[in-house]
């Protein structure tokens, strides 16, 4: 019986409690705004005092970006299909000519990658949005390579012996990289968290390709406070201690009843 009581008391005395605490938001060294192409060191420092004893649970990070809306580069191509002279129209030798113009506007794809040492935490990039528009075809009579306006059309027409019936079609293509993206995740590996905290701050490397707008950066450190039990005179027992003591008293009463029954 003494062994049971001793074990119960030891269990009650060695109980430790943990208390969940709100995640700590760390202050970053990189302000929101335009980021040119290049590499950046991002340091996060904790200004919130930690308890004397604690355990780290996880590290959550989030970096949000969006396209800066830069101007796109223009490249143009023109295809010309010329027929042979031979047809006669209005007493003139004519041919059919088809011209296809393509104007392509291309933007720059932006991307970002977040590193800790040689460990890639995540990456992201703007997305491609492509559109095209073809204008209605236009028709002109071009005499020997010279466009005749309506004001001088008759004179122009009379002074040339041949002309081209020219149909022109223009297509505009836009290839834009735009949108928003976020690099986020959670680190639970204790060795990585310990390594991040070696110098009292969390330092990351951010690699940016293209020009991006940093709209938000956040780092949350989740931890649990560890509280050691203390025994003081007259201290009100914790609920767990009360349960253990109650179990011990019940065991004592049970043994006494057995002894009384045996003596009877």
What is the DSSP secondary-structure string of 28-63? Answer: ESS-SEEE-SEEEEEEEE--SPPPSSEEEEEEEEEE
Q: Which of 134, 112, 130, 33 is nearest to 72 (CA)?
A: 130
Q: What are phi and psi of 216, to 5 degrees?
A: -165, 140
Which pLDDT belongs to residue 154? 62
Which pLDDT belongs to residue 235? 55
- Residue 184: enclosing H or E segment and its boundaries? strand 180-187
Sketch the domain layout of the chain as residue ranges: 1-17+237-264, 23-227
Which pLDDT belongs to residue 126? 93
- The total number of residues written for the chain in this structure: 264
pLDDT-derived band of residue 6, with 50, 70 and 90 as boundaries?
Answer: very low
Average pLDDT over residues 185-211: 78
168 contact partners, CB below 8 Å, separation of at least 6: 99, 100, 101, 137, 138, 139, 140
- Taking the C-alpha atoms of residue 154 and residue 157, their distance in angstroms, rounded to an integer, is 5
Residue with tokens 């390594």: 195
Q: What are the residue ranges of helices labelled H in the chain?
A: 2-13, 153-158, 190-196, 239-263
- Taking the C-alpha atoms of residue 132 and residue 103, their distance in angstroms, rounded to an integer, is 10
Cα of 21 vs its chain's centroid, Å = 27
Q: Is the pLDDT of residue 40 over 70?
A: yes
Which pLDDT belongs to residue 20? 53
Mean pLDDT of the chain: 75
- C-beta separation of 126 from 69 below 8 A: no
Average pLDDT over residues 164-186: 92
**Lowest pLDDT segment from 10-14, 18-22, 60-64, 137-141:** 10-14
- Write the CA distances from 196 to 3, 63, 94, 216, integer angstroms: 47, 17, 79, 21
Residue with tokens 């062994």: 3
Which pLDDT belongs to residue 28? 76
Which pLDDT belongs to residue 9? 36
Average pLDDT over residues 183-212: 80
- Between these two residues, 204 and 3, which has the higher pLDDT value? 204
What would the pLDDT profile of 109-164 be if each residue is shown by its tens digit?
999 999 887 889 899 999 999 999 999 999 887 776 666 665 565 666 666 677 78
Which pLDDT belongs to residue 100? 95
Measure the CA angle with vertex 36, ends 33 and 38; round to 5°.
125
């Amino acid at each position: 019986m003494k062994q049971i009581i001793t074990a119960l008391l030891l269990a009650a005395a060695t109980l430790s409690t943990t208390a969940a605490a709100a995640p700590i938001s760390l202050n970053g060294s990189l302000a929101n705004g335009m980021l040119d192409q290049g590499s950046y060191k991002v340091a996060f420092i904790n200004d919130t005092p930690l308890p004397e004893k604690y355990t780290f649970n996880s590290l959550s990070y989030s970096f949000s970006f969006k396209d800066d809306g830069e101007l796109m580069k223009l490249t143009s191509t023109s295809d010309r299909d010329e027929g042979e002279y031979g047809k006669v129209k209005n007493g003139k030798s004519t041919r059919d000519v088809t011209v296809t113009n393509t104007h392509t506007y291309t933007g720059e794809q932006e991307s970002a990658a977040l590193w800790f040492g040689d460990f890639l935490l995540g990456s992201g990039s703007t997305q491609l949005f492509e559109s095209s528009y073809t204008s209605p075809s236009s028709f002109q009579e071009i005499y020997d390579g010279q466009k005749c306006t309506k004001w001088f059309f008759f004179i122009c027409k009379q002074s040339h012996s041949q002309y081209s019936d020219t149909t022109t079609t223009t297509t505009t293509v836009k290839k834009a990289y735009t949108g928003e993206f976020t690099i986020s995740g959670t680190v639970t590996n204790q060795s990585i968290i310990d390594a991040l905290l070696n110098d009292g701050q969390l330092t990351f490397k951010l690699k940016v390709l293209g020009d991006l707008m940093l709209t938000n950066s956040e780092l949350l450190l989740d931890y649990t406070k560890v509280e050691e039990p203390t025994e003081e005179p007259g201290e009100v027992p914790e609920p767990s201690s009360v349960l253990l003591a109650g179990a011990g008293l019940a065991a004592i009463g049970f043994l006494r009843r057995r002894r009384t029954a045996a003596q009877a």
